[in-house]
Structure 1
Amino acid sequence: MSILLDEADAYERGMDDDLTFQTVRELAGTAYMAGRTAPPTAVEIEAVAKRLLWRSCKKWDGVESDCVAKGEDDAWDYAGEICGYQEDYIDRAKEVLEVARKAVTEWRLF
């Protein structure tokens, strides 16, 4: 929820106070598009990286495995003990978010 609130606060700070000519629906759509096309925050990137890591713990080469970690945060903490492991997932998360934002931007052009 903090990512949503951070994006909403950032959007609100950039808005004019005179919103009388916009409907709530238009404003919500504009805010959504601004958030989806804005550069990802560090919090967003880490959240996606944690989820990618956790999902990779579930299956390796199509074989079910028992991940030692008890949850997403536990797996992330363990990955921090392996040199470069968190950084690899952060890079992957940045790529995923870049693709998602590109898709939103391209959709918006039509």
Structure 2
Amino acid sequence: MLDEANAYERGVDDDLTFQTVRELAGTAYMAGRSAPPTAVEIEAVARKLLWTSRTWDGIDSDYQAKDEEDAWDYAGEILGMRECYAAQARDLLEIARKAVNE
């Protein structure tokens, strides 16, 4: 959230005397809602998708992850697994943002 706010602030003209705080907050909110998903958001959703899918459990071994972090680490050892979940997460976040913006 802070990264997005800082990026927005860098893109705003420094002469803000004509805008109220409420207008700025509304503008910032709309900019954030229409921005593409960040890498941090995508990874957070990908991790949750992986953990809730349980596909990490027992893939070609008797391995069983202890928690979401452990499952994400294990997924990093399987070629393309993290990328697959990241692509799904990106799609879901873009669908949600589109619905909010319409």
TM-score (norm 2): 0.80
Partner of residue 79, structure 1:
75
Partner of residue 32, structure 1:
29
Say how many residue pairs are matched: 94
Question: Quick one: structure 1 residues 16 and 88, their matched pair in 2 at CA, closer, same or farther if it must change by over 3 Å?
Answer: same
Q: Which runs of 5+ in 2 are unaligned?
A: 55-62
Q: Percent of counterpart pairs with the same letter? A: 74
Q: What's the RMSD between the two structures over aligned residues?
A: 1.7
Q: Which amino acid aligns with 1:74?
A: D
Question: Quick one: structure 1 residues 25 and 80, their matched pair in 2 at CA, closer, same or farther if it must change by over 3 Å?
Answer: same
TM-score (norm 1): 0.75
Correspondence for 1:89 among 69, 76, 85:
85
Task: State the 1:6 CA deviation.
Answer: 0.6
- d(CA) in 1 for partners of 2:74, 2:49: 14
Correspondence for 2:98 among 99, 102, 108:
102
Q: Which runs of 5+ in 1 are unaligned?
A: 58-66
- 5 Å-filtered alignment, 1:24-63, equals 24-57=21-54
- d(CA) in 1 for partners of 2:98, 2:90: 12
Moved over 4 A (4+): none
